[in-house]
Structure 1
Amino acid sequence: MEDYLILMRLDILTKEAQPSPEQLQIYMKQYQEWVNGIVAQKKFKGGTALSTEGKVIQSNHIVTDGPFVETKESLAGFIIIQAESFEDAASIAKNCPILMGEGNSVEVRKIMSIHKEE
C-alpha cells in the first residue's frame, strides 16, 4: 500500500457560502462517518483542517497574506490515507461529503518521498 493525500477544497471565505450552525453539525457528522469508514478499513493515516489565515512566500522572498489564489475555492483541509492504487484512493475520495457542496472539490495526490532514510 502507498500513501495518498486527499485535499479538500471549498469556499471558506464568502459569507453567503457558509453553512448555518445546524447545517455545519450535519456536515461534520457526515464527514466523521466518512473518516470512520476509512479508519475501519485500516487505511486512515491522519489529517486536519486548515485555518483561513496564511502567508504566501514567493520565490523573490516577498511575503503576502494568503493563502488564496484568484478563486473562492480554498484548501480547507486534508487527510492522508493508504491505498492500493490511484484508483483505490480516488474511490475513497469520491465518497467525501465535501463533494455535496456546489463548486467543492477534492484532489488525490500520491505522496512521494524525496528524503533518504538513515
Structure 2
Amino acid sequence: MDHNNEFVFLFRQPALNHSPEKQKEINKKWMDWIGGIAAQGKIAANGMHLTPGGAVLKAGGVVTDGPFVEIREILGGFIVVKADTLDDAITMAHGCPAFDEGGSVEIRTAFPE
C-alpha cells in the first residue's frame, strides 16, 4: 500500500448570499476545519477559493456564462490532502463546513503524470 497519496477535495455548495456577519462565521468554521487537517500535517496544497462566475468553453468555440448556470450549486474551492487510502481521505472530509449549507465534498485521487 502506498502511503501519503494525494486526494483533491472539491467543495460543492448551494449558491447562497449571506450577511457579512454570517459569512464571517462560516469562514471561521472553514479555517478551523482546514486548520485541523493542517495540524496533522495532511495538507499537500492549500488549493484556492473559486468565484461563482466565469465562463465555459465548449467544443466548436461556444462560450457560455458559467460554470453550471443551469444548477443552483457552485464549486466553491478545493484543497489537496495526504492520506493513505481513499477511505482515510473520506474520513478526513467528515466535518467539512460545506455540509452545514447542504453542500458536499467530492473526493478524487490525484496522481503524478
> How does the TM-score come out when normalised to structure 1?
0.85
Q: CA deviation at 1:32?
A: 0.4
CA offset at residue 59 of structure 1?
2.1
In 1: Cα distance, 2:62 partner to 2:111 partner: 28
Q: Which moved more, 1:78-87 or 1:53-62?
A: 53-62
Which stretches of structure 1, 4 residues or more, deviate above 4 A after TM superposition?
A: none
Identify which of 3, 6, 15 aligns with 1:3: 6
Query: What's the counterpart of residue 41 of structure 1?
Result: 40
Alignment partners' CA distance in 2, 1:70 and 1:88: 33
Moved more, 57-66 or 3-12: 57-66
Deviation of 1:79 after TM superposition, in Å, equals 0.7
Note the alpha carbon deviations across 1:88-113, whole angstroms, 9 max, x for none.
111111211111113x1111000123
* Structure 1 residues 81 and 19: alpha-carbon distance in aligned structure 2, compared to 1, 3 A threshold: same
Output the CA distance in 1 between the equivalents of 2:71 and 2:65.
Answer: 15
How far, CA to CA, are the matches of 2:5 and 2:69 in structure 1? 30
**Aligned partners of 2:95 and 2:8: how far apart in 1?**
15
Give the number of equivalent residue pairs: 109
Partner amino acid, structure 2, of 1:76: G
Show the counterpart of 1:84.
Answer: 84
Distance in 2, Cα, partners of 1:59 & 1:89: 34
The percentage of counterpart residues that share the same residue type is 36
Does the 8 Å CA contact 2:7/2:108 hold for their aligned counterparts? yes
Is the 8 Å Cα contact of residues 14 and 101 (structure 2) preserved in structure 1? no
Aligned partner of 2:29 in structure 1 is 30
**How far off its partner does 1:69 sit?**
4.9
In the alignment, the residues of structure 2 paired with residue 20 and residue 90 of structure 1 have an alpha-carbon distance, to the nearest angstrom, of: 31
Determine the structure 1 residue equivalent to 2:20: 21
User: Unaligned regions of 5+ residues in structure 2, if any?
Assistant: none
